[in-house]
Amino acid sequence: MSETEDSSCVYKNSNAPVEARVQDLLSRMTLPEKIGQMTQIERSVATHGVLTDYFIGSVQSGAGTWPFEDAKSSDWAEMVDGVQRLALASRLGIPMIYGTDAVHGNNNLYGATIFPHNIGLGATRDADLVKRIGAATALEVRASGIHWTFAPCVAVLGDPRWGRCYESYGEASKIVCEMSSLISGLQGEPPKDHPNGYPFLAGRNNLVACAKHFVGDGGTDKGVSRGNTISSYEDLEKIHVAPYLNCISQGVCTVMASYSSWNGSKLHSDYFLLTEVLKQKLGFKGLLVSDWDGLETISEPKGSDYRNCVKLGINAGVDMVMVPFKYQQFIEELTDLVESEEVPMGRINDAVERILRVKFVAGLFEFPFTDRSLLPTVGCKEHRELAREAVRKSLVLLKNGKTSYKPFLPLDRMAERVLVVGTHADDLGSQCGGWTKKIYGQSGKITIGTTLLDAIKAIVGGKTEVIYERTPAKETLASGEGFSYAIVAVGEPPYAEKRGDNSELTIPLNGNNIVAAVAEKIPTLVILFTGRPMVLEPKVLEKTEALVAAWLPGTEGQGIADVIFGDFDFEGKLPVSWFKHVDQLPLNADDSLYDPLFPLGYGLSCNSG
């Protein structure tokens, strides 16, 4: 009778305690099987031979690697289950865990509900809303077969020049701590007596979460992606470590190491932070995964002396390595390091225990395949209404001028003739921003959703004439008096990570001039679709009647129309200080010299004006 057929296999017994299952399975594993569990590869190399020959423990879809473009959730489920079947065919039948960046809904999946990016959710200050978004996201991701999302990013934003500003919930640690409620939505809420630090997952409708990027990713000098956070340990702990306490108390299953450095020490090789702080002091008992080829960032130039990078990273506390392609080299190097005792076997066993613990807690041994009954949840009406609510609550009203007898907003939906202008008025991809369909995002009609223009046309009265011009024609503006008002939608094109690092922060695509040209002639509302505060030139500030920060709202543009036409009032509050000019940066509310254009927490309502 083979091991896996032996009914006395404790690890196969779903009624046995998790720790007993972990230890039983660990005791049966060879070194190659253990190191295989520590290896995460990208789907495009997850072939039959690789999965079985290297005992691979995890596979991921790097943002944008679909089964094929615009694949449906059933296609995704087929793909993931196919990989799972390969993994289960191994000697011990250990299921693989499949991960992806579902950071504002299942953003890889065509037709999925795309929620506002984190900076907009931070503006809502609504932890319960964020938790409900987590629960909805979990359904739409599990429907595609995927078990694990690399979210939430719990970076505390230090400087909006950072290309990942929109992935942060804001500049105040308190806001980020509260919005970490996404984890309880994704994974389910642990019982009150759940042991602190132990991973938790409620069931098959829930998704393994990942608090990232540990630690200090949002606090780098000048907001440089993968840069250096310079601070005392006390400040690092008070500002950047604090959200991880909330994540761990919610039973977060995984944490991802940061590419950045702390006082010159690369996080991926920092034993003090990864092991002494995260695992010992905070008591984290889930698995710590590297970032995408994160071990290579330990050395300069990146990837040089890879063997030493593997040694430093694993000994520092990395449990699973997001290789994602060089799996042979990683496995060979780590095997050699163990055999030469440069990486202790105890470290390998600790890493594999953590990985198996998460897999048992996640129910992967009992339910390794997709629950196809979840397929109808993808992009369902209920989730889109939830996203619409989130959009409404994320909008921040920065200015609302008064006409002779009433505030400019809310707009008159029965107006005779309305001009809608701008690069972001009718562009779903730009409305969603980066990490949508592809890592860097893509403008245009990339998925199913409602643009601002669609939403305006749907809400105005039947007799209202809506004229749309992406770029306003001179003739249109020359006859400006024919319009009751104009709505100008400008902002940033999609970007992610380092491609978003920006020290100028002026509204791209000639945004300021478009606004000025229209506002010169017609009473104008400006809606900014940006991942962060941007330079607002006086001609924008002074010449416009009203100004709204919409951040990167996702697919449900109706949420904007709901508010600017008065079905709901504004309630969003700035999650980040809005600077006057970039040479003030970094600018944070607790600075002694604090002179923002709009302070952290600022936000008007139509009644307050």
Q: Binding marks (x or -) toward ligand GLC, 572..601, rule CB under 6 A?
A: ------------------------------
Give ∠ CA 217-223-229 in degrees, rounded to 5.
Answer: 50
When asked if residue 150 is in the footprint of ligand GLC (CB under 6 A), the reply is yes
Element (H, E) at 213: strand 210-214
- Smallest CA-to-CA distance from 159 within 116, 113, 220 is with 220
Distances (CA, A) of 167 to 92, 93, 145, 551: 39, 37, 24, 11
305 included as an active-site residue: no
When asked if residue 292 is in the footprint of ligand GLC (CB under 6 A), the reply is yes
Give the type of residue at 484.
S
When asked if residue 43 is in the footprint of ligand GLC (CB under 6 A), the reply is no
Which letter does DSSP use for residue 575 in this model? S
Out of 62, 429, 449, 603, point to the residue binding ligand GLC (CB under 6 A).
Answer: 62
Comparing CB distances to ligand GLC, the nearer of 365 and 435 is 435
Comparing CB distances to ligand GLC, the nearer of 150 and 284 is 150
When asked if residue 169 is in the footprint of ligand GLC (CB under 6 A), the reply is no
Q: Where are the beta strands (DSSP E) in 461-541?
A: 465-469, 485-491, 524-529
Comparing CB distances to ligand GLC, the nearer of 62 and 472 is 62
Comparing CB distances to ligand GLC, the nearer of 209 and 514 is 209
CA of residue 61 relative to chain centroid, distance: 15
Residue 586 beta carbon to ligand GLC: minimum distance, rounded to whole angstroms? 21
Residue 41 beta carbon to ligand GLC: minimum distance, rounded to whole angstroms? 12
Which letter does DSSP use for residue 531 in this model? S
Residue 26 beta carbon to ligand GLC: minimum distance, rounded to whole angstroms? 27
Residue 62 beta carbon to ligand GLC: minimum distance, rounded to whole angstroms? 5
β-strand 485-491 against 524-529: which pairing, if any?
parallel
Comparing CB distances to ligand GLC, the nearer of 226 and 311 is 226
When asked if residue 501 is in the footprint of ligand GLC (CB under 6 A), the reply is no
Comparing CB distances to ligand GLC, the nearer of 164 and 399 is 164
Looking at 89-168, list the stretches that DSSP marks H as alpha helix, in order from N- to C-terminal side: 118-124, 127-142
- Smallest CA-to-CA distance from 440 within 501, 490, 528, 388 is with 501
The answer to whether the Cα torsion of 297, 298, 304, 308 is positive or negative is negative
Given the residues 140, 497, 501, 545, the one annotated as active site: 497
Given the residues 140, 159, 291, 492, the one annotated as active site: 291
* Cis peptide bond N-terminal to 410, omega within 30: yes
User: Rounded to the nearest 10 degrees, how much is the dihedral formed by the CA atoms of 410, 515, 163, 129?
Assistant: 10
CB neighbourhood size of 522 (10 A) = 24
CA of residue 94 relative to chain centroid, distance: 29
Residue 240 beta carbon to ligand GLC: minimum distance, rounded to whole angstroms? 16
Residue 151 beta carbon to ligand GLC: minimum distance, rounded to whole angstroms? 8
Element (H, E) at 358: helix 345-361
User: Rounded to the nearest 10 degrees, how much is the dihedral formed by the CA atoms of 440, 441, 444, 447?
Assistant: 160
Token pair recorded at residue 177: 């701590």
Q: Binding marks (x or -) toward ligand GLC, 78..117, rule CB under 6 A?
A: -----------------------x----------------
Comparing CB distances to ligand GLC, the nearer of 212 and 393 is 212
497 included as an active-site residue: yes
Residue 286 beta carbon to ligand GLC: minimum distance, rounded to whole angstroms? 16
Comparing CB distances to ligand GLC, the nearer of 212 and 384 is 212
Cα(560)–Cα(562) distance, rounded to whole angstroms? 5
Cα(71)–Cα(54) distance, rounded to whole angstroms? 29
- Smallest CA-to-CA distance from 387 within 548, 529, 557 is with 557
When asked if residue 63 is in the footprint of ligand GLC (CB under 6 A), the reply is yes
By CB under 6 A, the residues from 258 to 277 that bind ligand GLC are none
Comparing CB distances to ligand GLC, the nearer of 262 and 579 is 262
User: Is residue 585 within 8 Å of residue 159, measured between CB atoms?
Assistant: yes
Q: How far apart are the first and last CA of the chain?
A: 77
Out of 140, 171, 178, 291, point to the residue binding ligand GLC (CB under 6 A).
Answer: 291
Residue 439 beta carbon to ligand GLC: minimum distance, rounded to whole angstroms? 7
Comparing CB distances to ligand GLC, the nearer of 212 and 285 is 212
Token pair recorded at residue 515: 């606004």
Residue 489 beta carbon to ligand GLC: minimum distance, rounded to whole angstroms? 28
Residue 444 beta carbon to ligand GLC: minimum distance, rounded to whole angstroms? 23
Token pair recorded at residue 49: 């031979």
Please count the residues of this chain forming the interface with ligand GLC, following the rule CB under 6 A.
Answer: 7
When asked if residue 333 is in the footprint of ligand GLC (CB under 6 A), the reply is no
Give the phi and the psi of residue 302 in degrees, each rounded to 5: -55, 130
By CB under 6 A, the residues from 178 to 237 that bind ligand GLC are 212
User: Is residue 396 within 8 Å of residue 572, measured between CB atoms?
Assistant: yes
Active-site positions?
A: 291, 497
Q: Which residues bind ligand GLC (CB under 6 A)?
A: 62-63, 101, 150, 212, 291-292
